[in-house]
Amino acid sequence: MEGVIEWISRHLLTCPSRYFLHLDCPGCGLQRSILALLQGDVEGSFRLYPATLPMIFTFIFTALHLKYDFKNGALIIKCSYILTVAVIITFYIYKILNHKIF
């Protein structure tokens, strides 16, 4: 697993917004956050991109709902999407207000 993580860390995609405009986009930090999560650093993952865990929950729950058709699954998915988007927007506004998007 260590070799896979090392390979991934050397091949992260460059954010077009950051590359061309020198500004972070609302998704900047997601790749590094997932990489930290794969290494077992949940706190570091949260610091890099707080929406990673809600996003992963949403994807996993959606896949399980498609397979098992939970009774209130659609409502849970909608709420999960709303929570994830709210975390992304809140974190991005926080970065803007604290001048951390450069």
Q: What is the pTM assigned to this prediction?
A: 0.88
Q: Could you give phi then psi for residue 70, rounded to 5 degrees? A: -65, 150
Mean pLDDT of 82-86: 98
Q: What is the pLDDT of residues 4-55, one digit of tens each?
A: 899 999 999 999 999 999 888 999 999 999 999 999 999 999 999 999 999 9
**23 neighbors 39 (Cβ within 8 angstroms):** no
State the pLDDT confidence band at 100, using cuts at 50, 70 and 90. confident
Q: What is the pLDDT of residues 10-21, one digit of tens each?
A: 999 999 999 999
Q: What is the pLDDT of residue 67?
A: 97
